[in-house]
Amino acid sequence: MNESLLHIAIRTIELEAESVAGLTKFINEDFEKTVETISNSKGRLVISGVGKSAIIGQKIVATLNSTGTPSLFMHAGDAIHGDLGMIGKEDIVMLVSKSGESPEIKVIVPLIKNFGNTLIAICGNSDSYLVKNCHYFLNTTVTKEACPNNLAPTSSTTAQLVMGDALAVCLMQKAGFNGADFAKFHPGGNLGKRLYLRVKDLYAMNAKPVVLPDTNLKGIIVQITKGRLGATAVVSDQGEIIGIITDGDLRRMLEKSDDLTNIKAEDILTRSPKTVSADELAVNALELLRSNDISQLIVINKNQNYLGILHLHDLVREGIV
C-alpha cells in the first residue's frame, strides 16, 4: 500500500473540509439579503460563470430547480454572443467566480447592471471587480487549494458548491418546500417512487381474500391459496374487519391441534390486525411492515372498510425496498 498516496488523499479531504468549515464566518447580512431578494423575486435566478465555476453554477441551478426556486444557467462566454437575451427584467443574476477578475466576467457585469437586474456574486476575492460591482456578495474565500501547487480549483469549487447548497436549503425553508413538493419534481426512479407512490397504486391488482368468522378450515385455505398473498381478512356479516389469518397462523394451529374437524376462522384469526390507508405513501407502509416484522397489511379506506391486502412483495416489485 502506497502510504504517500493515502496521505495526499487524506490531506486533500482535510483541506477541503477546512475550507467548508471556514464558510460559516461568511454567513452574514449579505447572505440573508440574498435569500430574501431571491425569495421575493417574481422572476428567475440566472446563474453564470466560466471554467470550473461554470460547472459549479450548473449544479447549483439543478439543485435550485429541484427544490422550488426557478433557475437557469447562462455560460459567461456565451452571454456576449446572444445569451444575454435569456435575462428577463425581473430576473436576478448570480455570477460564480473564484477570482472575480475573469475577462468574461468583466465584460458582462456592466451589461447586467445596465439592464437593471440585481447582481449577486459568489466569489473568493473580496477585492475583485465583480465584488465591487455587485449588490450582494457571498464570500467563498479559501486559504489554500487542495492542489499541491495551490492552483487547480479544488477547495474553492467545493466552497462554491456548499455555499450554493446553503442558499438552496434556506430558500426551501423560507418557501415551506416539503416532501410533497419535492415529489412533483422527482417523479422518476426509485427516489420518485418513494415520494409519490401510494398504497392504492400497489394493492389494487391483488386478489381480495376474505372469510367470515364461521368459515371452515377448507374455506380458509382456499381463500389464502387463491389470493396468493399468504393471508386472508376475516370480516363480519356487515363487512367490518375482525382480524387476519396468515399462513403462519395456519401452521401454528396445525402444530397445536389434532382434531381439525370443527376449526373455524374465529379460532385461528389474529385480532386487531395492522391496517394501512389506501392513500398512505408506500414507503410509510414499508416502515409499518418492518417495525412489526410482518409481510401483509390490511388496506382500508377512510371509513375503515376492507379494500384488500398489501404484501411486502408488492413493495419489492416496485423497488421501494
Which residue numbers belong to the known binding site for Zn(2+)? 75
Can you read off the three cell numbers belonging to residue 270?
Answer: 389474529
Closest CA to 156 of 168, 142, 166: 142
Distance CA 195, CA 186 (A): 8
Specify binding-site residues.
75
DSSP 71: E
Cell of 163: 455555499
In this structure, are residues 109 and 137 in contact, taking their beta carbons and an 8 Å threshold?
no
Angle between helices 155-175 and 29-40 (to 10 degrees): 50
Q: Could you give the C-alpha distances from 81 to 104, 108, 191, 217, in angstroms and in order?
A: 11, 11, 39, 80
Q: Residue 234: beta bridge partners?
A: 211, 243
- What letter would DSSP give residue 222? H
Residue found under cell 464566518: 25
Nearest to 211 by CA among 309, 285, 314: 309
Please give the helix or strand (H or E) that residue 211 lies within, else none: strand 210-211
Asked whether 203 and 314 are in contact (CB, 8 A), the reply is yes
**Gyration radius (Cα) of the chain, Å:** 30
